[in-house]
Structure 1
Amino acid sequence: MSETSPDGPTVLVVDDEPDVAELYAYRLRKEYAVRQANSGEAALDAFDETIDVVLLDRRMPGMTGDEVLDEIRNTDHDTRVVMVTAVDPDVEIVDMPFDDYLCKPIGRDALINSVEQQLTAQEYSETMQDLIRATSKKGVLEAELPADELADSTEYQTLEARIDELRAHNSELLDELDDYEAAFNAVEHSAPELGSGGTSREASF
């Protein structure tokens, strides 16, 4: 595990590819304290109550990102977890307790914006945080799966119903916010297609 410690929130970057973890850390460390881990086991060793946001790879040898996520949620720490992964999402993500899901490769701006959004979300009520999580999952699924598949999905229909319920519960706060969905969906949830202006994860800093 490696660590940088400027003032400000702390981000734990977890990826089994050291060069990828270092790239993400490089992009973040000017603004945040950054810890790095290259396995699920090392991630749990590095994790404590001082971590504000975890950027977590799903596909890792040994302990997977999904298992790390479950272990983090078994603690009483109020930590935001963003899955940053090459694993294409399916409707199974509806029941996963992450806060956002980004598909590799991730550009610099998308990475920084995601961390900033999660830190902002920490300031909201729990039901508002639930709404943001659910809206994020809906956006990811709509970006990655065909509409006819979603229309036939019980999980997706349940997610939509949950979003409607949470919107009703948070109606007063939503009236005060300026288009919260646009703000929290501004992050690129899916990898840009080659030839469409997208960049690889080795893109410039």
Structure 2
Amino acid sequence: MLVVDDEEDVAETYALRLEANYETRIATGGKEALELIDDSVDAVLLDRRMPDMHGDDVLAALRERGYDCPVIMATAVDPDLNILEMDFDDYLCKPIFNETLQNTLEKHLDTGPDEKSELDTFLSLISKIDVLETELTRAELAESEEYERAKQRANELAPRLRERVEDFDELVATYRDIERES
């Protein structure tokens, strides 16, 4: 687990919360995160707003380098429709409580290899949809083709996943219970 936050105290707090279940590394900026990442990192907890390199740019660099581990955005930045285009797996608004952090990581790391790709895509979509529906008005959402495409894609994936993933509806309900907004 790589924890990335420009506020060292925040990064250390997250790492302490996670160390019982995960081996953690801390980066206090985007450039340091890109230096510390390697194939042994199974997930990244990534702040969006950092002075040396924006979290969105770190995310893009990670994906360009071929890292496909789950990336959880941990941020105080209010989400906007631009998150629909970003290749992260979940979006948590600070402050993030320990239970929320643990549950989120569990959901992203406990999928089997056969269902991982579609299930990760689905969970990422519903995370983005839920956060946007909480933070934006109906009028703003109604104007967004990207939002409608995300909802349509989630609706297409759900029946296939329901057939393949044991307790799919329960998993989704539990996942949606995670508090993503501040």
TM-score range, shorter chain: over 0.9
| TM-score normalized with structure 1 length | 0.82
Identity %: 44
* Aligned counterpart for 2:121 among listed residues 130, 141, 147: 130
TM-superposed deviation, 1:180: 2.7
State the match for 1:201 in structure 2. none
For structure 1, which segment, 116-125 or 31-40, has the greater mean C-alpha deviation from structure 2 after superposition?
A: 116-125
| Mapped pair 1:82 → 2:66 | no
**2:21 matches 1:31:** yes
CA distance in 1, matches of 2:160, 2:168: 14
Q: Which of 135, 142, 147 is the aligned partner of 1:156? A: 147
Aligned residue for 1:166, secondary structure, equals: helix
Is 1:56 matched with 2:46? yes
Aligned to 1:120: 110
SS in 2 for 1:97: coil
After superposition, the C-alpha distances for 1:28-57 in whole angstroms (9 at most, x for unaligned) are 111210100001000011100000110000
Higher deviation after alignment, 170-179 or 104-113: 170-179
**Are the aligned partners of 1:57 and 1:85 in contact in 2 as well (CA < 8 Å)?**
yes
The residue aligned with 1:47 is 37
The separation in 1 between residues aligned to 2:72 and 2:156, in whole angstroms, is: 24
Residues 47 and 112 of structure 1: CA distance in aligned 2, closer, same or farther (over 3 Å): same
Contact 1:94/1:156, CA 8 A, preserved across alignment = yes
Instruction: Quote the Cα distance in structure 1 between the aligned partners of 2:148 and 2:169.
Output: 26
The answer to whether 1:73 aligns with 2:53 is: no
Q: Which residue of 1 aligns with 2:175?
A: 184
Question: After TM superposition, where is structure 1 displaced by more than 4 Å over at least 4 residues in a row?
Answer: none
- Look up the equivalent residue of 1:25 and give its one-letter code: A
Measure, in 2, the Cα distance between the counterparts of 1:187 and 1:164.
20
Displacement after TM superposition at 1:171 (Å): 3.9
Task: Write the distance in 1 (CA, Å) between the matches of 2:29 and 2:112.
Answer: 26
Aligned residue among 151, 154, 167 for 2:158: 167
Is 2:83 the partner of 1:106? no
Aligned residues: 181
* Offset, 1:85: 0.3
Query: Would the aligned equivalents of 1:122 and 1:129 in 2 still touch at CA under 8 Å?
Result: no
Q: Decide which structure has the larger Cα Rg and report it.
A: 1
Could you tell me how far apart the structure 2 residues matched to 1:61 and 1:112 are? 27
The alignment yields a C-alpha RMSD, in angstroms, of 1.6
Any stretches of 5+ residues in structure 1 without a counterpart?
1-10, 192-205
